[in-house]
Structures are given as structure tokens and as C-alpha cells.
Chain A
Amino acid sequence: MIARRVLLVEDSVLITSALRVLLESNGWDTWVSPTLTDAIGAVSDFRPDVILVDLTLPDGDGLDILSALSSETPPPKVFVMTGHDDDATRDRCLSAGCDAVLIKPVPTRDLVELIAGAMA
């Protein structure tokens, strides 16, 4: 069985170390990109099923990853993580085309359930 792949785009080593453990212990191959530029390259190299992306990245807006997905078939699901728990941020992310907005810290059970649902 081919392992499903998750691209994790997040610049905090503390957060990625925790999420990598969570994702890998659920059997998903995980690629960590600390920057938007690295993540855009990883989309074509790694071909993720799910992208878990932080909204604020050192070299840009996490939503800009969406523009790199136009040629991907089928397009991966994109879940945006943010610390800003407000309607304006949620509306901006959803209208840009991401599949879900997750407020940090995302309860791990909810995150696993969401990714498993996207992989099904």
C-alpha cells in the first residue's frame, strides 16, 4: 500500500517536531518545508495528498501555496493553520480556496480526523 503524503509548511521547529511525530505515527509520509519557496518546490517533487500550511511564513503568505497547485491533478487538500481566531481571517482563507482553517494549537484528534477524512 502506498503511504499517503502530507506536506507540512511551518517555520517553527518546535511546532514541526511535534506535528511530524503526530503525522508519522499515523502512518503518513511527511515532508517539512520551513518556507513558502521550499514548499512550492516540494509540491511537484513530493506530490502531497494534503498540505498543512501556516498562514504566516517568513517569506510570504501561506495562502500563496494555492497558486502553485493549479497544475496538480488531483489537487491536494489545503488546510491552513493560524493563531488568528477571527471571522476576517477565516473568510480570507476560505474565499482564497483552502479547504479548512485550523486555529492553533489544533487539537491533535481533530487534526488526525480531518487528514484521515481527506485521504479517504
Chain B
Amino acid sequence: MSRDGDYARKLLAGWEDVHKKGQLTLWILLALKDGPKHMAEIKAFIDRGTNGTMSVDDQSMYRALRRYYETELADFEAAPGNGPDRKVYRLSALGESLLREFVKRNIIDTLYKPAIRSLIERDSR
């Protein structure tokens, strides 16, 4: 049992690692859809939303937000704080429509289908 349990955990960790690599964009855009946030708030949102299974380091988050800013998916404005100004990010109109279309095509129209959803939920509760 213990050997199987260890092996199953190893398999799960490997699958989750690969799965998470493609999830960062979705979670960051979801965080911004929830409302404007600075980097720490986005990280906290992702941590809560994924029950702590996805952790993002500051450097990766900073680079991702810069990419989304340059590709017009997100905007930011500088908010004065105690130290240097913090960038508060928000979803742009383009980012919002992209997220809506992505979620519809890849989540709602697939995983939310009654047959698929009941299959996923079977024995999972």
C-alpha cells in the first residue's frame, strides 16, 4: 500500500507539474477579472484559487505580467505606497474578451458538458 501510495503521489506530482505550466495565464487573467490587483494580491488569489497547489515566484510573475502588458492583455497604473510606486494591474478589454472566449471554448463547452461533468464528479466527492 505504501509503495503504491508513494508511486501514485509521484505520478500525481508529475502530472500536476506539467498541467500547471499551461495554467499560469488562465489564473493571472482570472485574478485580474476579479478586479485590479498588484502582484502580491494576484499571487494570493492564485494561491487561494488553486488551494496552494500552484505557487509562482516573484520573477516569473513579474515576467508574465510584463508579457501580458506588452501584448495588450493587461494594463497597469502606478499606485503610490510607502516605498516605490506599486503597479496595479487590470484586465484590458482585449484581455477580457480573450479570457471569455478561452473559458467558453476550453472549459464551459467541454468540462461543463453534463455528461463530462458527471463523469468527473463521479467518485470524486
Decide if A and B are genuine partners.
no
Spell out A's residues near B (CB within 8 Å).
none
Spell out B's residues near A (CB within 8 Å).
none
